[in-house]
Amino acid sequence: MGQETSYTPDELASELVSASRTTVGDSLRSITYFTEDQEEQLYLRSDLEPDADLVGFADNERLGFRSQAVYDDTELGAYQFTIRVFERGFLTRVIAGDHGSFVTTDEMPTEEFEELASAVRSVLGSHDPP
């Protein structure tokens, strides 16, 4: 899935999809990879319409690059991930250095978000942005 011209390395895309599917199974709705200036949808569940405002979502999630710096060295500890709650699902954003991913899911138990974020962070942490 994604734009006609893929900028995300195949290995990274495959690992993000695999880690997310393994963690949340059929609850997975979509996966988008992003950097400061690019975004690419890596996965979209077949029963969903590809009409989401991907650029708008990515622009909003890019604010996490700034949040990461703001929250650095606070008494709360290191920033981990963000969960956004919607009427029909959730969005989990994970940022590692200069790149990130947001994963949308159906409703699921809250403890699964930590597992999902950990799996995505592990994949992002093992790859440098393209």
Is residue 1 domain-resident? no
Is residue 78 domain-resident? yes
Is residue 111 domain-resident? yes
Full domain range(s) for residue 50: 10-125
**Confidence at residue 70, expressed as pLDDT on a 0 to 100 scale:** 83
Name the domain count of the chain: 1
CB 83 within 8 A of CB 15: no
Closest CA to 40 of 15, 62, 84, 7: 7
CATH number at residue 43: 3.30.450.30
CA atoms of 102 and 93, how far apart (whole Å): 4
- For residue 2, pLDDT beyond 70: no
Is residue 104 domain-resident? yes
Report pLDDT digits (tens) over 115-125. Answer: 999 999 999 98
Total-model pTM: 0.86
Is residue 72 domain-resident? yes
Is residue 54 domain-resident? yes
Is residue 57 domain-resident? yes
